[in-house]
Amino acid sequence: MACVALLAGAIPLCAAAPQKPALSKSSAPADLRAAIRRTLGEDGWVQMQDFTEADPGFDPEFGVSVALHGTTAMVGAQQAKIGDNSGQGAVYVFEKSDGVWTRTQKLVSDDGQANDLFGDAIAFSGDTALIGAYGATINDNFAQGAVYVFTFAEGTWTQTQKIFLDDGQSNDNFGYSIGLSGTTAIIGADGAKVGTNEFQGAAFVYDGSSGSWTRTQKLTAGDGWIGDIFGYSVALDGDRAMIGAYGNNGYQGAVYVFGGSDGAWTQTQKLLAGDGSPNTYFGYATALSGSTLLVGAWGGNPGGNDMQGSVYVFTGSDGTWTQTQQLTASDGLPHDKFGHSVALQGTTALIGADGWSNSSAQGAVYAFDGSSGAFVETQRFVASDGAPSFQFGLPVTLDGDTALVGSWLWRSPEGTVPGKAYFFQYHGTPLPTYTVGGSVSGLAGSGLVLRQNGGDDLPIAADGDFTFATPVYDGSHYAVSIAAQPRDPAQTCSVANGNGTLAGANVANVVVTCVDSVIDYIFADGFESGGSATLAQTTDTAPVAQNSIACSHDSGGTTAENQYWRRYYFSEHGVTTMASVTSVDVAVEQTIGAPNMTVTLYTIPHSVTVDTIDLGQLTQIGQAVVASPADALLATVNVPVTGTVTDPVDSDLVVEVSTDDGTEDGTTFYIGSTTSAQTHPSFISSASCNIPYPTTTANVGYPDMHIIQAVNITD
């Protein structure tokens, strides 16, 4: 399905498989390498943009996996909380246009559960992406693991298949690593039990040539043993596969070479480091390009430096792979973990050393050039905002003149640990950055917090000018919203000029206006003293044309299933007695046909974070199904639906307006909305457009879509 109006801005992705990068060792003299590094500011890899998790409130490990191809990138956040599921995980898609990377879509699994760790591994090719969730519980088997297939069509990535082992067991970790080449995929299960050998590990071959992915073979090491962790890394290029087993032989590690012929894969060689020793973790990271293979061994001790790390270069000729070089960092120190990640394309190698900087774990990436026949170190680069423990460089991926580097333990100024990902370009010119700010007027209460682009919260204490601390790249979108309304006394603040695109200058015209009288006219008739009242979150109840969005099947108009939500807060108005809903007035922007409309009433604990809707915390108290007005335009329909909120002190009211999938009868439904101010955000969800949980309309790119509902209540 395609998101027509709703996800009109959601551009498709093609992510490159995060292949736990590979490295090489420089043979250039130390003084030459030092001279090269002194010119870094004028040549080499330049940081262009960086992104962090845009959904605040938890530590999602954004940047734990990265994938890149052409103008599309994917970043995994395996600990992302989805709904009430901690650690379910998510993958974010980015698209490059006119030199600027922009987030376009958030991918989640349709049946995700807590601790699935969806997004730990990503591989994509063409219009197919495979995303690992090695923590997934399958048939009560904890951490058996699964891989989700997403297909790109009509501008959107949509889940089309879930792959798991019919004969899987707990702790298989299926999906921990993924290799993808054309219609062949090799999926690692590094915890798999083989025979009686616990954690020997295995890898599984899948064929997708029929349009559906089918398992064709199980690969294991010819001399596999307990704790080898075979399948921890996978590098696949055509009919050659390299599978790492870093636990082999006392964690000395090994890489197994497999060749594919006539649909069957056979082990042809076992690779070891020429100077291998225990606890060097050879095979932890692998990268394959043509006849060159890089193998990371981040536990290696070159020169006696514990865990400085090294990377081994292997060259393939006549079916045999031979070690030709060992790469180390020219300035390597103990605990740098050089080789923890590796990336390789042609004669360019990038090697992550996430422990770099005198054991501080700030992290760095080393660039090597192999065009002369031997890899030579040319640069060491770091994040512009790097700091101890951020672990920049784990992971790293490469495509052409663009690199994408994760820093999954990046810490925000507020002290949260959302993680970050950085785009670098070879010989790039950094994009200029500009600030976003404006002015606040009418503020009398404390507690106002402004938010930029879903993060970067800014507390405001008094009227006057403000500027967000985090600059925004030129050409990028910015969105300013209210993260928290003032208290003591309670006020309602609204934002004007809060959305736009940076165009070569600072933004200083965002206007925040605060008023003492709450815009919401809930209980305007004196509910506490008896009678009836109307609960609404917009003063304007007349729908605006061409202002609403819906997950849609096609540009012709039929809409998918959609849910529209609002949450109403009795506590903001001092209401303490039982409240009964008698009906809900729903605004309609447009219908084609007369699709059914379901209005459902819920209570939600007041303790649930303000301006969020947690599906796991909802209790249904009423529901009604009616036909929407046929072929309507800018109309309102009264839906008789009843439900009672018995404890308005500890409970809030949630109203859901949902519509069915219009495929069968070709119907369309767009809910009514206004651009006038609202007291609390509007929410939308639609599984068909990969928005399985209520998300604010601002966070899907439509901040001015304020859904119109009026809830009629009596005591």
State mean pLDDT over 650-654: 93
State mean pLDDT over 520-528: 35
pLDDT by residue (tens digit) across 50-107? 998 766 556 799 999 999 999 999 999 999 998 889 899 999 999 999 889 999 999 9
Please list, in sequence order, all residues whose beta carbon lies within 8 angstroms of the beta carbon of residue 315, skipping any fewer than 6 positions away.
291, 292, 293, 321, 322, 324
> Which of 130-134, 153-157, 367-371 is the least confident region?
153-157
Pairing of strands 507-515, 436-441: parallel
pLDDT by residue (tens digit) across 23-38? 222 333 334 444 444 3
pLDDT for 278 equals: 95
CATH architecture of structural domain 433-515: Sandwich (2.60)
CATH architecture of structural domain 30-426: 7 Propeller (2.130)
Is the confidence at residue 521, as pLDDT, over 50? Answer: no
- Mean pLDDT is highest, among 70-74, 544-548, 684-688, for 70-74
C-alpha 238/C-alpha 184 separation (Å) is 8
> Which of 56-65, 160-169, 194-203, 243-252 is the least confident region?
56-65
pLDDT for 7 equals: 28
C-alpha 294/C-alpha 345 separation (Å) is 11
Is the confidence at residue 205, as pLDDT, over 80? Answer: yes
For 554, the token pair is 């096609």
C-alpha 121/C-alpha 180 separation (Å) is 11
Query: Strands of 499-501's sheet, edge to edge?
Result: 455-460, 448-452, 477-484, 499-501
Alpha helices in 202-324 (DSSP H): 248-251
Is the confidence at residue 160, as pLDDT, over 70? Answer: yes
pLDDT for 237 equals: 95
User: Across all residues in the chain, what is the average pLDDT?
Assistant: 87
State mean pLDDT over 307-321: 97
Is the confidence at residue 22, as pLDDT, over 70? Answer: no
The percentage of the chain sitting over the pLDDT mark of 70, rounded to a whole number, equals: 89
C-alpha 225/C-alpha 198 separation (Å) is 8
- Sequence ranges of the domains in the chain: 30-426, 433-515, 527-714
- Helix (H) and strand (E) counts for the chain? 2, 51
Is the confidence at residue 315, as pLDDT, over 70? Answer: yes
Domain 527-714: state its class.
mainly beta
C-alpha 686/C-alpha 565 separation (Å) is 11
